[in-house]
A = this chain, B = another copy of it.
């Protein structure tokens, strides 16, 4: 079969709040080929990403992504890395490409899995999918008291691990940050796995970040996530030399597998965190997972949105038994929670496993699309280059 069409659904909640919650909107990608369809989700600015699909060519290495996708043969798992590579080459200088490619690549794997009646993890070569221990991923409260309550709720809901991130953390004093971490530990109890996400707040400032280490160590935090921007390899390395029991985790900003390879090589990480919806889809995420396994760095998904994104994030390392933690969104928007007709919820042992079903194993809910769809129209010289309308 050949790729017949790619279309986009830009979904958004009625109100987008100025908080670190990436589930407030979504860019869904549907690929159709030979009567089959597959779905993917970009973790990206929907409008800008849509513009990259069919923008006018600038030169031979800055082409619209559609040039490398439409009409391509798609019959075998090997076709996807081939198409993927073609996109990267022909749209090398179009920066937004990697975020768009992510959604398309995910949809291609979903489509091929449905067609071949095989879960994606098996197309990738894994024999079985191991259950992962989900950590409840959420924002810090505005006050330590709120953080304490959130952590208590996590324990009540039977999660054995929790992550708190963004919000006030790193924006106030060392004491205030310490109070939040301590409140999280107290709420979670002594035995829960506690993770902290600084959301790149210190950019590349090792000194400021290192003042937080003492409290993190004392509260037995397993990892400090994203103290710095992804590219600040030297800053990560320096902090890793001081962090002792607290491991460093990072990688969600990587938009190519090579960025993650570099972080694993030079940044002193204990955990590499990959968002399949940003790194270039399942093809790139799988490459990172394989490299992580070789280097004995723990691979973890980065997922803060829908079950579709969660399934796509877990497939690349589903078969790696010793990489056993997964991010699990517990504060996602209604839009994100209702994007699919079925959910992925913890089993009786509190574990999450990818669906044992073709492709990504989830069906999109058309009612959710209809409810949250945004209308987009992009015109160049009166020609419509990209459009998405309510049905």
Chain A residues at the B interface, C-beta cutoff of 8 Å: 10, 12, 16-22, 24-25, 43-48, 50-52, 55-62, 85, 88-89, 92-96, 98-99, 166, 199-200, 203-204, 229, 231-234, 253, 255-256, 258-259, 261-262, 265-266, 374-382, 385
Instruction: Name the residue on B nearest A235 (C-beta).
Output: B258
Partner of A262, one of B52, B262, B377: B262
Whether A48 and B52, one on each chain, are in contact in the complex, defined by CB atoms closer than 8 angstroms, is yes
A-B contact pairs, 12 of them (CB 8 A): A16-B58, A20-B61, A25-B56, A44-B95, A45-B55, A47-B55, A95-B95, A234-B261, A374-B380, A374-B381, A375-B379, A377-B377
> CB distance A44 to B93 under 8 Å?
yes
Query: B22, B58, B60, B381: which contacts A93 (Cβ < 8 A)?
Result: B22
Contact yes or no, A12 B258, CB < 8 A:
no
**Chain B residues within an 8 Å CB radius of A89:** 200, 203
Q: Which residues of B contact A98 (CB under 8 A)?
A: 95
Q: Would A376 and B379 count as touching, CB distance under 8 A? A: yes
Q: Which of B56, B255, B266 contacts A12 (CB 8 A)?
A: B56
Question: Closest residue to A44 on the B side, CB-wise?
Answer: B95
Copies of this polypeptide in the complex:
2
- Residue in B22, B47, B50, B88 whose beta carbon sits within 8 Å of that of A59 in the complex: B22
The CA of A376 and the CA of B378, in the complex, are separated in Å by 8
Partner pick for A258 among B20, B46, B232, CB 8 A cutoff: B232
Partner of A266, one of B52, B93, B262: B262
A62 touches B47 (CB 8 A): no
Whose C-beta in chain B lies nearest to the C-beta of A63? Answer: B18
Q: Which residues of B contact A375 (CB under 8 A)?
A: 379-382
Q: Closest residue of chain B to A230, judged by CB?
A: B258
A61-B20, A261-B234 are contacts. A51–B92 as well, Cβ < 8 Å?
A: no
With A and B bound together, what is the CA distance between A19 and B265 in angstroms?
A: 35
Nearest 9 A/B pairs, CB to CB? A231-B258, A51-B51, A47-B55, A96-B96, A48-B51, A45-B94, A377-B379, A48-B52, A22-B59
Report how far A300 CA is from B200 CA in the complex, Å. 30
Beyond A51-B378, A56-B374, A96-B96, 9 additional contacts (C-beta under 8 Å) are A24-B58, A25-B59, A45-B94, A48-B94, A48-B96, A95-B99, A95-B255, A232-B258, A377-B378
